[in-house]
Amino acid sequence: MRTYVVSGAASGIGAATTTLLRSQGDRVITVDLHDADVTADLSTTDGRTSAVAGVQQLTDVVHGVVPCAGIAGATGVDSALVVSVNFFGAVALVRGLRPQLAAAGGAGVVLLASNSITGMPGWRGAVAQLCLADDEPGARADAATVESVMVYPATKAALAWWARREAVTPEWIGSGIRLNAVAPGMIDSPMTDTLLADPEIGPLVQAYPSAIGRPGRADEIAALIAFMLSETNSLMVGSVVYADGGTDAMFHPQAPEGWDVA
């Protein structure tokens, strides 16, 4: 039996991942604002410290971490909050549990990016760069100058870039910890329902093309995450895997854009 930690486990991809891993006979320690083994608010420094401490009280070894907790960029959503939860909350959980991941003698982390990185033009590149510089006050301040819909892809890009940058360092792969990210497209989930109901953003979300003609399912992303966490996936380090029904390939059949924001 392997031990995993999943944040945002009360719904959506987090819930589907938790269900799948447990069905395989693994132990999953869930982290969320409610209905979880560890209840904590990842938007704050104290909440992140509490989340890490809560997990550490339950186990000395962690074989994988999947930070699924996130906030959609919708009308009326606090842009600064999107930064704190989506990027800094996820990274703090992973960093805080690094000793337990290293103790596993071979562990995996799968961060939740998004195909909005390349599928949505005009998002706030400065926010991504400030996130990567570990400047949460600066990232929050910059994010507050624009609508959250332009901040959400920035936080997801920052997670993807952080995974690629950190994955190959002695601190992570040198300790036997594989960092990767998955970039889902539109997934049938409570977060997507919120976006579709948004009078301004909903039409944009509905306009996203899909080669398979339907939204993805949370269990489909969970299956990919489970593989990326597994020992079978020993060669994947610093990878960002798109799982979006072909949306990104339809937008960018040859050269994806959005990875060179200054």
Q: Band of the pLDDT at 73, cuts 50, 70, 90? A: confident
Angle at 156 between CA 152 and CA 157, to 5 degrees: 115
Q: Regarding the domain delimited by 3-251, which CATH topology (the fold level of the hierarchy) does it fall under?
A: Rossmann fold (3.40.50)
Domain ranges of the chain: 3-251
The string of pLDDT tens digits covering residues 200-253 is 777 777 777 889 999 899 999 999 999 999 999 999 999 999 999 999 999 888
Name the pTM for this structure.
Answer: 0.93
Phi, psi angles (nearest 5°) of residue 152: -55, -50
Residues in the chain: 262
Query: Interhelix angle for 125-132 vs 152-167, to 10°?
Result: 40
The string of pLDDT tens digits covering residues 173-198 is 999 999 999 999 988 877 777 777 77
Q: Flag whether pLDDT at 159 surpasses 80.
A: yes
CB–CB of 61/102 below 8 Å? Answer: no
Provide the strand spans (E) within 55-176.
64-67, 107-112
CB–CB of 186/244 below 8 Å? Answer: yes
